[in-house]
Amino acid sequence: MKKLIVGIGGMTNGGKSTLSRSLQAVLPNSCIISQDSFFKDDSVVPVDSHGFKQYDMLDALHMDRMMHEIKSWMQDPQRFMQSQGLTVKCPVSEKGNDIFSLIVEGFLIFNYGPLNTLFDKRYFLQIPYEMCKLRRSSRVYVPPDPVGYFDGHVWPMYLKNRKEMEDTVQDLVFLDGTQKREDLLARVSEDIQQMFTVV
């Protein structure tokens, strides 16, 4: 059995979840682990001097739990998929050369060293400031973004996290998140299918 771990990182509203879901639909025996599922409870996330909750940093996330889930996939992808209610596509060959893919998506997946080392491929979706702000304003988050949150917390933290990532991470493939959904999917899925032939 071969295993491939693909990271779909990027800024908020870059299109990470959209691309990940489409990828999962086209990649056989694939599943998604999303960083957004590991936010700590709102009550323990600190607040800055402007009253903004400090969500856009690793401390706001249960990275230990996320790693545990990824390790559980690594140990037995087939069992992991079944535990998620996903159907494993047969035949799973007796030669042991089936490929299972894990798509890990999130805004800080490359900033966490122990996770970053696990990726076979790293994509980073980026969009311009104005589009990011517009897309974000059309979404309803839990808890909702307070007035001024984008410019007071989200954007400055993005710039900080991005610098930290670029200073430490190699082999990032930057994707233009303003491209059509289907073009992004074609680009990334072709890339990954190619990797299937070499893993």
Q: So which residues are the catalytic ones?
A: 36
Q: How far is the CB of 31 from ligand ATP (least distance, A)?
A: 16
Q: How far is the CB of 37 from ligand ATP (least distance, A)?
A: 11
The mark string for 92-131 relative to ligand ATP (x by CB under 6 A, - otherwise) is: ---------------x------------------------
Among 28, 36, 83, 97, binds ligand ATP (CB under 6 A): 36
- List, in order, residues 6 or more apart from 178 with CB less than 8 Å away: 127, 128, 131
Please tell me the distance from the alpha carbon of residue 126 to that of residue 42, in angstroms, as a whole number: 27
Q: How far is the CB of 35 from Mg ion (least distance, A)?
A: 8
Q: How far is the CB of 15 from Mg ion (least distance, A)?
A: 8
Answer yes or no whether residue 189 interacts with ligand ATP by CB under 6 A. Answer: no
Looking up tokens 């996903």, which residue turns up?
86
Nearest to Mg ion by Cβ — which residue?
17
Residue 162, CA distances (Å) to 37, 40, 84, 107 in order: 21, 22, 32, 10
b/e map of 173-192 (b: 16 or more CB within 10 Å)?
eebebeeeeeebbebbbeeb
> Is the Cβ of residue 93 or residue 138 nearer to ligand ATP in the bound state?
138
- Residue pair 149/139 in contact (Cβ under 8 Å)? The answer is no
Which residues lie near ligand ATP (CB under 6 A)?
A: 10, 12-18, 36, 107, 135, 177, 179-181, 184
